[in-house]
Structure 1
Amino acid sequence: MSRFLEGNDAGNCRIVKAVAVKPWHQYVMTLWVKSKSVTRNEDFHVQVLTDNGRALNYANLGVKPTQGWTEHHIVFNSLDHDTVRVYIGQWGGGEGTYWIDDVELRVAGAINLIRREGCPVRVTSADGKIEYEEGRDFKRWVNEDTGMKPWPGNFTVMTGEPAMLLTANSRIVDGQPLAVSYYHAVTVYDGQVACCLTAPGLYEHLSRQIELIKRHIAPRRYFMQHDELRVAGWCELCAGSGKTAGQLLADNVRRCTTIIHKHDPKAGVIVWSDMFDPHHNARDNYYLVSSTLAGSWEGLDPSVVIANWNGGHAGESLEFFAGRGHHQVIAGYYDQHDVARGVKRWRESSADINGIDAWMYTTWHQDYSDLEKFAQEVRRP
């Protein structure tokens, strides 16, 4: 696979195949990739799309510009679909050559299996008539690799697939077909995993952390990291609530703010804008979120300051939050080196907006070479 720009201006060079799948099954695809002198290796993907164009996987493959034959994996859940389209190849051009071999797609077995309240394991006979019990018919089923490789708290795309071990007096016969239901984590990009918005353990952990931060640091403000939450609403705690993902997120941010003020009543609270912005990510069909995120903003107390980074719809976004009584910080720099133009655009969008408290220099690449220039432009009359 090479000469990516031949045949289309976008430089997309991909193999596409429609594949039949079983709904609500976890799948793993394995492929071997070799590359030589590739200039845009980060744009080599395996993408699984549904008939309506929804992507079912977002983890990066990690193909290097030049590498020998290397095994790569993607993992996805088919959700309620029985057919998917699998794309393998290069997006957006560049130079170099890829070789692809030994592509295999199969049903997976408990990759990144999650065991907690709201994520039960259910095992029945193939016809569903007999339900088997953990502890009586099979030993506790866990994946020791989930969130533990190479260190605790780190998730990888591919983990081991743990065997289900039978007890001595199990009613299950060795080799018997079973129907098994379980919940699993999904990694996004490079190991990102979202927490549950509802699990009680989350709030116990947050409360302990805020208590420690208050005791040892005593900050004037707390910056909540609600940002690009790409998986939400699937476990039984969330789905069983009868609420949309937006309502669950509203409950979550409300509880997080309450926890902060319980331990530090006078502290200010800041949050990123995107997950509460109807002009950004608080919308329908967002990544692998189970339902609409609309209404998430209802959980924001007006005292919460919004760090607004919606450069694509700055005017609408700033006006929306100002209309709800929020003060805002403009996150006006994201590694775009035309600093003057970027600041000018934000300044024009915020000209008639009250409550703009500050500007933020926000770099993805730890690049502070434009910081002084940014400060000068912001201070310019």
Structure 2
Amino acid sequence: MTNLSDGGTMEIAQKTLLAKTSRLPAFGPFDVLFALILAAGAAYALHAFGEYMDIYERAILVCTVPAAAAFGWYWKPMRVFLLACAAVALIAVGLYQGQLVRADEVFLLKYFVSSQTAIMWMSATVFLSTAAYWLGMLARSTFFERSGTVLAWIAAGAGFTGMLVRWYESYLIGTDVGHIPVSNLYEVFVLFTVLTTLMYLFYESRYATRRMGAFVMLVISAAVGFLLWYSFSRDAHEIQPLIPALQSYWMKIHVPANFIGYGAFAMSAMVGAAYLLASKGILTSRLPSLQVLDDVMYRAISIGFAFFTIATILGALWAAEAWGTYWQWDPKETWALIVWLNYATWLHMRLTKGLRGAVLAWWALIGLLVTTFAFLGVNMYLSGLHSYGSL
């Protein structure tokens, strides 16, 4: 067990850091305006598209408003991000004029804001952001570090806008085809990229350091690499109708909750890798302190564990409705339980046993391998009730 506290100075510094990152922001007039804009948008969506929604989908939409407003208050940049993505998506919707064929005819759609083009921009800027963060860290360049941040924001915005436009495009194909774009590997890898990038940017702003970006963006780049391979080798970007097993309102909340968990676990693993290098004297002067890395790793796993727990419960409720039982020891369910137990034990060892340092960093890094197998490996090598997600 490694004790990170080295005398009273370290303990005071750590407490000061925790107090700073936990402080709630002030509530101002722009927060009220943001909430009103969200409410107006939800009201318009209910008026224009309410006939296509069941009562559960309407409830999800309504509940999204206070949740997004609260998050926008807690993290101010999210207000600009959401409004900008919504504005660009609305421009794209207007350019389509109800005809999907215009995606290849209108300049802005073809090269910028159709779903596939926006996702390609996301992919390119993720790679560029990763390179900028690494250049910034190795060359100690503030310019490249800031460029990495800007490019990461652009990547997240392009990906989220692409998802919103893809949602609309699916309805242009047919009302029976239209669905929220979280139904296959292609779509959920876009979701993973957006969520994990935003999660990293949140911690970057909270801890006022860009020095974790080089490591966290690596795992996001790996996800984008898989996304591109999967898209070009399987034509996965083509919008397909939902299979009956996925035609449920549960999918709209179960999948995003799951991928907040996956993104948080991936981020914690990369922060753990940075911790291990810094603890060995490698890149020590170019990385945040061990205290910061340890705290970010802990907070990411805590958030991931909370959302993964919620997703598992939602999945059980969905299973009860679809298959008549909450749990069947399907390979996907079994490995989800393994992932849950892994991080539950991680948190238990830290919170009740006081474990710190390299052991937990290695644990977080290995945990990513377990999580990756639970998500991809099960689809590739095992079969069961979740086989509709296979490669």
**Same fold flag (TM > 0.5):** no
- Specify which structure has the bigger relative contact order, considering alpha-carbon pairs within 8 angstroms and separated by 6 or more residues: 2
Larger C-alpha radius of gyration, 1 or 2?
1
Larger strand percent: 1
TM-score, normalised with respect to structure 1:
0.25
